[in-house]
């Protein structure tokens, strides 16, 4: 009998957290298995999970072993994977799932990997019915589902599409794992040597289904520090804009421009108010620039490789528990008259506690999908508001309220509309 979900990468830092989440939250009768390249490590993880996981089957497979990955894909409804860097280890698995008609989700934030997967798998997955869903962690679920929630609210409340939407990552506490750093450095290394990749990374519509049909309203991601009047806060560049904005624009295009043809989308961070906020913002921008320089300059890169967390390392349980994130999304209607404020919040650290929750809930939601339109989709076009509901039930905040100082009516806000289906899945 097929299992519902196979978790590939259960021995990694994030994979372990996903395994813990599934052991604690999968409904009774839900059949899930753990896969990885090392049986002893898998056995140790299963023992540590205790009685709730005692019967969970273990599968040994390497990310480069196409035959083993095909077998996994054929014997489950959903594969969920944390094996990164995805550009190095992810392509064969996504391909196997697209061919087998098996749903797939991951937590990549690597635009080059997602683009390659679209080019290789979208047509195949449309035919097989596989839903291939990348970026199901902190990048890019809050962005993608937060925007969807606002689009639904504007449609329901004002019969309006979206105009300008501005995402702001606000107060946050969290850390980085060795795997995340390895993936960032791997992308920097690849971009240093590859002009076409640098061009792809600069393109605001790099994940578009049909580049010719884009209106090119959005320019490059923000690189400056400025005052954001709608929130009365200092705003500056947000490193994850480089992937999140592309995913959100893909959602709009895949859904037949359901958010609107005038939809514009940007992402920045906020730093509070007052002189200290300006100084912090400037320091963060300078720090990011210094990190990028250090990572691409051989002598300082050796130091980074030596002192940054390695594979399997990451923020400890105490730090994860203390972690949280708060996102505000300021959205205008297409005619510019109505303005609303969306909020997306999590109650543990964004990259690991909340990411494990987001990926696990995505995998369980995909396992509940029987007949579906396949393709290389986004969280919003694959699962829509159904996933928002699941994440709300799992403790995340997704709300909409009037923007302070605007005249939009608040009546009826906060309801959760039904899940939309993608109207066009041309990849
Ligand atoms: N989107 C987000 O918000 C988000 C958040 C967190 C992490 N991530 C991404 O998730 C990925 C994993 O991060 P992490 O910190 O969990 O990394 P990690 O601790 O280094 O774990 C990597 C996992 O990949 C496995 N692996 C590596 N090479 C393999 C191969 N050839 N065949 C099979 N398995 C292989 C490792 O197995 P072994 O244990 O046997 O070495 C381990 O299970 C990274 O790409 C990171 O950027 C994204």
Find the range with the poorest average confidence among 14-18, 78-82, 288-292, 342-346. Answer: 288-292
pLDDT exceeds 50 at position 379 = yes
**Same domain, yes or no, for 189 and 338?**
yes
Confidence of residue 62 (pLDDT cuts 50, 70, 90): very high
Is residue 9 within 8 Å of residue 26, measured between CB atoms? Answer: no
The residue-averaged pLDDT of 4-32 equals: 96
- Whether the link from the prior residue into 140 is cis, omega within 30° of 0, is yes
What separation in Å is there between the alpha carbon of 314 and the centre of ligand 1?
A: 11
The burial class, CB within 10 Å (0-12 / 13-18 / 19+), for 129 is middle
**Same domain, yes or no, for 56 and 156?**
no
**Same domain, yes or no, for 215 and 268?**
yes
**Same domain, yes or no, for 119 and 236?**
no
**Same domain, yes or no, for 165 and 62?**
no
Protein residue with its CA nearest to atom 7 in ligand 1? 180
- Give the end of a domain, one of 133, 163, 193: 133
The burial class, CB within 10 Å (0-12 / 13-18 / 19+), for 307 is exposed
Confidence of residue 411 (pLDDT cuts 50, 70, 90): low
In a domain, residue 27? The reply is: yes
**Same domain, yes or no, for 177 and 264?**
yes
Is residue 326 within 8 Å of residue 343, measured between CB atoms? Answer: yes
Ligand 1-lining residues (CB < 6 angstroms): 9, 11-15, 36-38, 41, 62-64, 82-86, 89, 107, 109, 137-139, 177-180, 183, 311-312, 314, 351, 355
Residue of 82, 184, 188 to mutate, ligand 1, most atoms within 8 A of C-beta: 82
pLDDT exceeds 90 at position 341 = yes
Q: Which is nearest to 139 in space by CA: 248, 235, 8?
A: 248
Q: Which is nearest to 364 in space by CA: 30, 29, 101, 129?
A: 30
What letter does residue 32 receive in the DSSP assignment? E
Confidence of residue 371 (pLDDT cuts 50, 70, 90): low
What separation in Å is there between the alpha carbon of 174 and the centre of ligand 1?
A: 18
**Same domain, yes or no, for 193 and 95?**
no
pLDDT exceeds 90 at position 180 = no
Count CB neighbours of 23 within 10 A. 21
**Which residue has 């679209």 as its token pair?**
118
Protein residue with its CA nearest to atom 22 in ligand 1? 12
- Whether the link from the prior residue into 223 is cis, omega within 30° of 0, is no
Residue of 14, 69, 117 to mutate, ligand 1, most atoms within 8 A of C-beta: 14
Protein residue with its CA nearest to atom 36 in ligand 1? 12
In a domain, residue 193? The reply is: yes
In a domain, residue 120? The reply is: yes
**Same domain, yes or no, for 129 and 151?**
no
For residue 38, which atom of ligand 1 is closest to its CA? 40
**Same domain, yes or no, for 10 and 158?**
no
Is residue 98 within 8 Å of residue 128, measured between CB atoms? Answer: yes
What separation in Å is there between the alpha carbon of 10 and the centre of ligand 1?
A: 9
pLDDT at 413: 62
**Same domain, yes or no, for 293 and 147?**
yes
Protein residue with its CA nearest to atom 6 in ligand 1? 351
Report the first-to-last Cα separation within the chain, whole angstroms: 32
CATH of the domain at 25: 3.40.50.720
pLDDT at 420: 40
Find the range with the poorest average confidence among 33-37, 290-294, 389-393. Answer: 290-294
What separation in Å is there between the alpha carbon of 13 and the centre of ligand 1?
A: 7
In a domain, residue 257? The reply is: yes
Q: Which is nearest to 139 in space by CA: 103, 167, 171?
A: 167
What separation in Å is there between the alpha carbon of 415 and the centre of ligand 1?
A: 37
The number of distinct structural domains making up the chain is 2
What separation in Å is there between the alpha carbon of 47 and the centre of ligand 1?
A: 20
**Same domain, yes or no, for 146 and 238?**
yes
In a domain, residue 418? The reply is: no
In a domain, residue 368? The reply is: no
The burial class, CB within 10 Å (0-12 / 13-18 / 19+), for 306 is exposed
What sign for the dihedral angle of Cα 364, 370, 376, 377? negative
Which residues are paired to 164 by β-bridges? 264
pLDDT exceeds 90 at position 213 = no
Q: Which is nearest to 121 in space by CA: 141, 106, 140, 104?
A: 104
In a domain, residue 366? The reply is: no
Report the SS3 class of residue 268: strand
* Cα 392 to Cα 394: distance, rounded to the nearest angstrom: 5
What separation in Å is there between the alpha carbon of 27 and the centre of ligand 1?
A: 26
Q: What percent of the chain has pLDDT over 70?
A: 95
What separation in Å is there between the alpha carbon of 89 and the centre of ligand 1?
A: 9
In which domain, by residue range, is 218 found? 141-349+395-402
What separation in Å is there between the alpha carbon of 86 and the centre of ligand 1?
A: 8
**Same domain, yes or no, for 104 and 185?**
no
Protein residue with its CA nearest to atom 21 in ligand 1? 12
pLDDT exceeds 90 at position 270 = yes
The residue-averaged pLDDT of 191-205 equals: 95
- Give the end of a domain, one of 133, 158, 186: 133
In a domain, residue 425? The reply is: no
Measured at the CA of 35, the angle between CA 32 and CA 37, to 5 degrees, comes to: 175
- Give the end of a domain, one of 103, 133, 163: 133
Which residues are paired to 6 by β-bridges? 33, 79
Tokens of 206: 């790099």
Confidence of residue 383 (pLDDT cuts 50, 70, 90): very high
Q: Which is nearest to 183 in space by CA: 121, 218, 137?
A: 137
């Amino acid at each position: 009998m097929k299992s519902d979900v196979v978790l590939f990468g259960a021995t990694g830092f994030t994979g372990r957290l996903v395994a813990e989440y599934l052991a604690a939250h999968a409904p009774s009768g839900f059949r899930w298995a753990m896969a990885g390249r090392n049986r002893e490590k898998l056995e140790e993880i299963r023992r540590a999970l205790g009685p709730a996981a005692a019967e969970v089957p273990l599968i040994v497979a390497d990310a480069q072993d196409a035959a083993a990955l095909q077998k996994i894909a054929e014997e489950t409804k959903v594969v969920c994977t944390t094996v990164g860097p995805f550009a190095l280890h992810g392509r064969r698995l996504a391909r196997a799932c697209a061919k087998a008609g098996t749903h797939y989700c991951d937590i990549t934030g690597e635009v080059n990997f997602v683009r390659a997967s679209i080019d290789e798998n979208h047509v195949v997955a449309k035919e097989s019915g596989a839903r291939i869903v990348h970026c199901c962690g902190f990048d890019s679920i809050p962005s993608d589902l937060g925007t969807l929630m606002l689009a639904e609210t504007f449609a329901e409340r004002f019969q309006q599409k979206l105009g300008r939407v501005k995402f702001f990552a606000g107060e946050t506490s969290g850390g980085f794992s060795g795997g995340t750093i390895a993936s960032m450095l791997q992308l920097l290394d690849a971009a240093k040597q590859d002009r076409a990749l640098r061009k792809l990374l600069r393109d605001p519509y790099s994940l578009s289904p049909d580049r010719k049909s884009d209106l090119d309203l959005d320019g490059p991601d923000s690189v400056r520090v400025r005052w954001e009047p709608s929130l009365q806060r200092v705003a500056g560049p947000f490193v994850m804009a480089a992937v999140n904005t592309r995913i959100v624009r893909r959602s709009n295009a895949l859904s037949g421009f359901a958010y609107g043809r005038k939809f514009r989308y940007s992402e920045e961070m906020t730093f509070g108010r007052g002189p200290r906020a300006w100084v912090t913002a400037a320091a963060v921008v300078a720090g990011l620039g210094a990190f990028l320089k250090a990572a691409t300059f051989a002598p300082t890169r050796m130091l980074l490789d030596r002192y940054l967390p390695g594979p399997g390392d990451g923020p400890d349980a105490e730090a994860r528990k203390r972690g949280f994130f708060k996102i505000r999304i300021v959205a205008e209607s297409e005619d510019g008259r109505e303005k609303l404020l969306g909020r997306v919040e999590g109650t543990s650290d964004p990259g690991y506690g909340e990411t494990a929750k987001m990926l696990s809930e995505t995998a369980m939601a995909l396992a509940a999908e029987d007949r579906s339109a396949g393709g290389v989709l986004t969280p919003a076009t694959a699962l829509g508001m159904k996933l928002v509901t699941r994440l709300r039930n799992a403790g995340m905040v997704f709300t909409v309220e009037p923007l302070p100082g605007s005249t939009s009516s608040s009546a009826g806000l906060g309801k959760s509309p039904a899940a939309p289906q993608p109207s066009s899945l041309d990849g």
